[in-house]
Amino acid sequence: MTQAASWPRGESEQLYRNLFDLSPLPTIVYDGSQILRVNDAAARTFRLASSDVAVGRSVLDFVDPTSRGAVVGRLGTMLTSGAPVPPIIERFHRADGSTFEGEAVAAPVEWEGGRAIHVIIRDMSELQEAEQRLTDSEARFAAIVERAPVGMHVYRLDASGILTFVAANPAADKILRAASSRFVGQDVNDAFPGISKELIARFRQIAAAGGSYDTTREEYADDTREGTFEVHAFRIAEGSIAVMFWDVTERIRDSVELDSYRRRLEQLVEERTRELAQAHRDTDAVIAMATRAVELRDPYTGGHQRRVAQLATAIAEQLGLTDETVSRITIAAKLHDVGKLSIPAEILSKPGRLLPAEYELVKEHAQAAHEMLDLVDIGWPLADMVG
């Protein structure tokens, strides 16, 4: 292996050494036949065990065969003329056999009384991968925007404060029922006159200073379209904003109709509740009147119906029956002797023992109660419970 050349002498030696060693870009010094030095960045890029491994080798060892002819010609031109050549993209080989594209910038330098080539290489792989990722990301974003079910407009604010319509997705055309492309390049006021001045002012503010703005109910009306929209605006680049919107006209109308239906339903419930309350009051009055009538006909058993009702209610509650069932049992208990109204008063109030015929007549009061209450249709078997 040829002995490596020393660093160039003079006042600039230390500065050159620092720049060479600390540069994050792969750097090589080549004299036309062999590599004199490489920095650590070059060793990492070419996946060398150390920077010393490359010293003494030809630079062509690291150049793809398809690029070697051009490289030899460029190096020869610089060594002969002493003038740099324009940067060029070349394919290079790494020590592990992999390849990469790199941009090579080369210039002749004075080295140990002779001329050498100072080469800086920028690995384009990461840049190309980043550009490809960006391209893929932009393609995916464009596909999302194109297929999104919500409308999207893009506006740009120029230096004079004019907010210009730039683009729209298909959903926007469908929602607004118009081909937005015919408005491209127009001021927002001319393109969409139905947008309120307050909202346009918000758009300008976002385009100029950033941020976002949401409104859940924005009214829009022009010669061809009107409705209520939900709008979300945000800045996508300096001076540019995206506006997403969707039609909520039917939802608002349905909400209004639902509120109206709910209010009507509440009104009907209140009316029905009052009717039921009145019916309960009427029922209580009728029951009280019937109970009082029985007590007047049969003074000897006064308070009997009330006590039976209290006892029946207590038993029903103890059994864990529903409130509705307990209420029905209470009513039936209060009316269980209503059949006595069909028995002559002189029999009910007769002092002493009843004749057999009279007793048989009294026993029929349960059947009489059933027949009387069977004529009342209240939706549950009151007659069967009493008689």
Across all residues in the chain, what is the average pLDDT?
A: 81
8 Å CB contact between 229 and 220 = yes
Q: What letter represents residue 344's amino acid? A: P
- Between residues 250 and 301, the one the model is more confident about: 250
What is the Cα–Cα distance from 223 to 341, expressed in whole angstroms? 81
- The predicted-structure confidence for 153-177, as pLDDT tens digits, reads as follows 999 999 888 999 998 888 888 888 8
Q: Average the pLDDT over 87-98 and give the result.
A: 88
Strand partners, 105: 120
What is the Cα–Cα distance from 230 to 77, expressed in whole angstroms? 67
Q: What H or E segment, with its residue span, contains residue 289?
A: helix 249-297
Measured CA to CA in angstroms, residue 343 lies from 177, 220, 299, 361 at distances of 85, 81, 13, 7
Residue 344: count other Cβ atoms within 10 Å of its Cβ: 12
Domain-wise residue ranges, the chain = 13-123, 148-247, 255-386
Predicted model pTM: 0.43
Strand ranges in the chain using DSSP code E only, listed in sequence order:
27-30, 35-38, 88-93, 99-111, 114-123, 151-157, 163-168, 212-221, 226-237, 240-247
Q: How sure is the predictor about 286, in pLDDT bands with cuts at 50, 70 and 90? A: low
What is the Cα–Cα distance from 284 to 331, expressed in whole angstroms? 9
8 Å CB contact between 340 and 297 = yes
Residue 294: count other Cβ atoms within 10 Å of its Cβ: 25
Q: What is the pLDDT of residue 43?
A: 92
What is the Cα–Cα distance from 254 to 258, expressed in whole angstroms? 6
Q: Average the pLDDT over 345-358 and give the result.
A: 77
What is the Cα–Cα distance from 40 to 46, expressed in whole angstroms? 10
- Between residues 258 and 326, the one the model is more confident about: 326
pLDDT at 338 over 80: no
Q: Which of 198, 202, 199, 247 is nearest to 226 (CA)?
A: 247
Q: What homologous superfamily does CATH list for 13-123?
A: PAS domain (3.30.450.20)
The CATH architecture of the domain made up of 255-386 is Orthogonal Bundle (1.10)
Q: How sure is the predictor about 296, in pLDDT bands with cuts at 50, 70 and 90? A: low
8 Å CB contact between 25 and 118 = no
What is the Cα–Cα distance from 55 to 1, expressed in whole angstroms? 8
CATH for the 148-247 domain, from 3.40.120.10, 3.40.640.10, 3.40.50.10680, 3.30.450.20: 3.30.450.20
Q: How sure is the predictor about 386, in pLDDT bands with cuts at 50, 70 and 90? A: confident
User: Comparing 13-123 with 255-386, is the CATH topology the same?
Assistant: no
Strand partners, 116: 109
Q: What is the pLDDT of residue 1?
A: 35
273: tokens are: 């509740």
- Between residues 221 and 6, the one the model is more confident about: 221
8 Å CB contact between 26 and 121 = yes
Measured CA to CA in angstroms, residue 235 lies from 155, 246, 262, 374 at distances of 9, 18, 41, 79
- Between residues 262 and 276, the one the model is more confident about: 262
Q: Average the pLDDT over 34-60 and give the result.
A: 91
Sequence-separated (6 or more) residues with CB below 8 Å from residue 290: 334, 335, 338, 341
Query: What is the chain's Cα-based Rg?
Result: 51
pLDDT at 277 over 50: yes
Question: What are the two backbone dihedrals, phi and then psi, of residue 101, each rounded to the nearest 5 degrees?
Answer: -90, 135
What is the Cα–Cα distance from 25 to 38, expressed in whole angstroms? 11
pLDDT at 40 over 60: yes
253: tokens are: 């109308």
Q: Which of 124, 229, 115 is nearest to 171 (CA)?
A: 229
Which residue matches tokens 């683009």?
167
Question: What are the two backbone dihedrals, phi and then psi, of residue 3, each rounded to the nearest 5 degrees?
Answer: -65, 135
8 Å CB contact between 212 and 244 = no
Q: Average the pLDDT over 28-34 and give the result.
A: 88
- Between residues 15 and 204, the one the model is more confident about: 204
